[in-house]
Amino acid sequence: MFRGEGSGGSEEKREFLEGMEPENPQRSKGPRGGGYLAALPTLSWTPTRSSPLLYLLLAFSLLLLVLTCLSLSRASAALGGLEETRTRSRNSHSQAWNNLSELQLGLARHFQTLQGRILNVSRELQELQARISHPPEREQELSELSQRLGALESRDSLAPLREQLEQLRREQSQVLEETRNLSGILCPSCPPGWEQFSRTCYFFSSSTKSWHDSRDSCAQFQAHLAVVDSEQENQFLAIHVPERRQFWLGLTDEPSEGSWHWVTGGALQLQFWNSGEPNDVGHHGEDCAGIYSNGLWNDLPCFSPERWVCERPC
């Protein structure tokens, strides 16, 4: 807009530019010359009070950056460890599952083996029970021994005969012991101090009482005076009776003379009375029965103090 105005316009322009110069004499010092660049103010930076704060912020940023890098590094290492742990856990779980499967298979095989053994043992027990319930050979041996005992005891008591009698007793005791050992497999529950025969427990007393007191003593053990059901049982009882002694049996005719009954209520069928017995002698009579060491029975007064034998199922 200054074009065409001549020298007068140039003077006005110069005055305008001079009015634009800063008043600061230091800033007016600069390269001489005209133009717009000479008229622009010179920029310079001088430190201020906020500079230490900037340094502190810069240092904090660097520290934060370092901590972030360390945290990222640790997180990466932790993720790697976690992945490794997961891999190991999977492998361990797989190995444990395989081991459990093998163990289960082994236990199943062992269980089948045990079942077979139990079945074999059960069969053997059944065979033993059948042998104990029906021992024909031992019954024949015991019958022969009983006959020989009866024949020997009917003769005079000579020394040779006593020796033969003792031999027969030992043989009979051995046979009964073998039978008792077999029955013990099926009946091992007799109380201490009781003897076992077949599936029955017997108690032989060492003191003496009347028949009624003996019966009450047996009842305290949930037992009763012995009841003889077989020849083998009678011989078993006789073995435990000392010589010149007798033990009470659970046999009496006290309610009705001549009608002998067991304490269990059964009538007398199998009997082993001594010669001439029962004879019911004496003023008070003889209404209770006992057994001698030879296996023969005798009737005597019920108030007589004698030893006794109890029996109870095992």
Q: Angle at Cα 230 formed by Cα 278 and Cα 303, nearest 5°? A: 35
Asked, for residue 210, whether it belongs to a domain, the answer is yes
CA-to-CA distance for 117 and 130, rounded, in angstroms?
Answer: 20
- The helix-helix angle for 159-186 and 231-239 (nearest 10°) equals 110
Highest mean pLDDT: which range of 38-47, 144-153, 278-287, 304-313: 304-313
Q: Angle at Cα 42 formed by Cα 56 and Cα 55, nearest 5°? A: 5
Asked, for residue 301, whether it belongs to a domain, the answer is yes
Same domain (yes/no): 302, 214: yes
Asked, for residue 81, whether it belongs to a domain, the answer is no
Same domain (yes/no): 214, 123: no
Asked, for residue 118, whether it belongs to a domain, the answer is yes
Residue-range definition of the domain harbouring residue 257: 190-313
Asked if the model's pLDDT at residue 260 lies above 60, the reply is: yes
pLDDT digits (tens, 9 = 90+) for 161-204: 667 777 777 777 766 666 666 555 556 678 899 999 988 999 99
Q: Which residue would you say has higher pLDDT here, 255 or 145? A: 255
Asked, for residue 94, whether it belongs to a domain, the answer is no
Asked, for residue 296, whether it belongs to a domain, the answer is yes
Asked if the model's pLDDT at residue 304 lies above 80, the reply is: yes
Tally of domains within the chain? 2
Quickly tell me which residue has 């634009």 as its tokens: 20
Question: In the listed set 90, 114, 134, which residue is the last one of a domain according to the structure?
Answer: 134
Q: Which of these ranges, 133-137, 233-237, 278-282, has the smallest mean pLDDT? A: 133-137
Residue 247, H or E segment: strand 246-252
Asked, for residue 259, whether it belongs to a domain, the answer is yes
Asked, for residue 20, whether it belongs to a domain, the answer is no
